[in-house]
């Protein structure tokens, strides 16, 4: 009797639910470069469509067609509307496709969840004049996708990520060892010459020192990126990286080095120490991201990742609204 066939993996349609994300938009609060008027609000004053408040009318300087008649009627003093300039957005993605991202014990593994995160960023930043570029960090090096516009470019990028060779494939890609996360971040900084949005999708396990208070290997490079760009760090984790189930004797393998070790999970003290060490490790990553100035979005393979993204987008929108200067009369 033949063994049952393995269930098919998630398709691109499963990982790119455009309809659920169509009404959202990532809030970009950093100053952007460029002259093309797009759909995103920048921080430069000038012609645009986003209302930024009202101020008193200056005779001979302001155009009458910009009069804010509602505020003028309330205050009996002539006021004009102020608007923020629109700028196109260039988004650069750094996607970690190292062997540690192939682990997963839920409906998705970490690499599939990273593809879903890339799809979400692509749909949320789509707009007139906006461009999306990517660099994929794999075991065989850094693969580059130039920044281009359009849905076709996004879908081709997603297909390339979804169907990329894995370490356990019969014929994985061969070649010299690729750069680490710090070197990949430096490579992104070299190509992201215009201010925009940089999204890093990784488990951020690379370069973590044993001392949880020490600086991680990738933190200085991420801090340099955040000094010029708005940076979103998407941390991808699996529940079995956070706690061990009581399933008896198991063999653990390091996907990066191939080292193996047998572990008896029936020991409650071992499971407690494992959970404590994992929690300390994730807290170490969160502190490093916070010190770097990056926004932190945590996704797990056993949760509804679209709901997590929706909550993050709405939270960032509230923060941006509360931090925005309020000019003129309310």
Whether 252 is in a domain gets the answer yes
CA distances from 271 to 153, 274, 283 (A): 45, 5, 18
- What are the φ and ψ backbone dihedral angles of 197, each rounded to 5 degrees? -115, 130
Q: How confident is the model at residue 167 (pLDDT cuts 50, 70, 90)?
A: low
Q: How confident is the model at residue 99 (pLDDT cuts 50, 70, 90)?
A: confident
Which residue, among 210, 202, 271, has the nearest Cα to 242 in the 3D structure? 271
Mean pLDDT confidence for 233-237: 95
Q: What pLDDT sits at residue 3?
A: 47
Whether 12 is in a domain gets the answer no
CA distances from 317 to 17, 28, 310 (A): 21, 9, 11
Mean pLDDT confidence for 90-118: 89
Strand, helix or coil for residue 151 = helix
Q: What CATH number did the domain enclosing 252 receive?
A: 3.40.50.410
Q: Mean pLDDT for the chain?
A: 79
CA distance 202 to 217: 14
Whether 83 is in a domain gets the answer no
- What are the φ and ψ backbone dihedral angles of 173, each rounded to 5 degrees? -65, 145
Is the pLDDT score of 79 beyond 60?
yes
User: How many domains does the chain divide into?
Assistant: 1
Is the pLDDT score of 104 beyond 70?
yes
Whether 20 is in a domain gets the answer no
Lowest mean pLDDT among 27-36, 42-51, 60-69, 125-134: 42-51
Q: Which residues of 320-329 are buried (b: 16+ CB within 10 A; e: fewer)?
A: eeeeeeeebb
* Eight-state DSSP code of residue 140: T
Q: What pLDDT sits at residue 169?
A: 46
Whether 208 is in a domain gets the answer yes
Burial of residue 283, with CB atoms counted within 10 A of its CB: 0-12 exposed, 13-18 middle, 19 or more buried: exposed
Whether 138 is in a domain gets the answer yes
Is the pLDDT score of 279 beyond 90?
yes
Looking at per-residue pLDDT, the higher value among 3 and 215 belongs to 215
CB atoms within 10 A of CB 206: 19
* Eight-state DSSP code of residue 67: B
Q: What pLDDT sits at residue 176?
A: 46
Cross-strand bridge partners of residue 80: 55, 67
**pLDDT tens figures, 304-314:** 888 888 888 88
For residue 117, the enclosing domain spans 90-315
Whether 329 is in a domain gets the answer no
Could you tell me which residues come within 8 angstroms of residue 196 by beta carbon, excluding any fewer than 6 positions away?
28, 30, 32, 33, 89, 90, 91, 92, 229, 230
Given a contact cutoff of 8 angstroms between Cβ atoms, the answer to whether 324 and 28 are in contact is no
CA distances from 193 to 48, 55, 190 (A): 24, 35, 7
pTM of structure: 0.73
Whether 115 is in a domain gets the answer yes
The three-point CA angle 303-305-310 to 5° equals 130
Mean pLDDT confidence for 141-151: 89
Helices and strands (H, E) in the chain, number of each type: 9, 10
Two structure tokens written together for 146 = 């130039």
Given a contact cutoff of 8 angstroms between Cβ atoms, the answer to whether 79 and 329 are in contact is yes
Is the pLDDT score of 190 beyond 90?
yes
């Amino acid at each position: 009797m033949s063994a049952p066939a393995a269930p098919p993996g998630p398709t691109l349609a499963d990982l790119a639910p455009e309809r659920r994300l169509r009404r959202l938009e990532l809030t970009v609060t950093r100053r952007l470069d460029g002259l093309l008027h797009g759909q995103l609000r920048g921080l430069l004053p000038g012609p645009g469509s986003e209302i930024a408040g009202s101020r008193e009318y200056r005779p001979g300087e302001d155009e009458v067609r910009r009069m804010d008649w509602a505020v003028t009627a309330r205050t009996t003093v002539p006021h004009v509307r102020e608007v923020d300039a629109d700028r196109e957005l260039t988004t650069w993605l750094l996607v970690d496709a190292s062997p540690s991202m192939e682990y997963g014990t839920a409906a998705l593994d970490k690499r599939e969840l990273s593809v879903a995160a890339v799809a979400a960023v692509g749909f949320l930043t789509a707009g007139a004049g906006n461009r999306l570029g990517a660099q994929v960090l794999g075991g065989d090096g850094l693969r580059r996708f130039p920044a281009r516009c359009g849905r076709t470019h996004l879908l081709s990028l997603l297909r390339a990520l979804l169907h990329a060779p894995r370490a356990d494939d019969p014929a994985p890609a061969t070649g010299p060892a690729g750069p680490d996360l710090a070197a990949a971040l430096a490579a992104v900084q070299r190509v992201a010459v215009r201010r925009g949005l940089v999204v890093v999708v990784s488990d951020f396990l690379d370069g973590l020192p044993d001392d949880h208070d020490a600086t991680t290997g990738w933190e200085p490079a991420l801090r340099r990126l955040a000094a010029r760009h708005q940076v979103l760090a998407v941390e991808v984790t699996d529940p079995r990286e956070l706690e061990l189930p009581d399933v008896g004797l198991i063999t653990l393998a390091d996907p990066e080095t191939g080292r193996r070790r047998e572990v008896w999970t029936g020991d409650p003290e071992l499971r407690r120490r494992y959970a404590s060490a994992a929690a300390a490790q994730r807290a170490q990553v969160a502190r490093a991201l916070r010190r770097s100035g990056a926004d932190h979005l945590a996704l797990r393979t056993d949760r509804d990742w679209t709901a997590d993204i929706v909550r993050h987008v709405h939270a960032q929108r509230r923060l941006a609204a509360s931090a925005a200067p309020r000019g003129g009369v309310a």
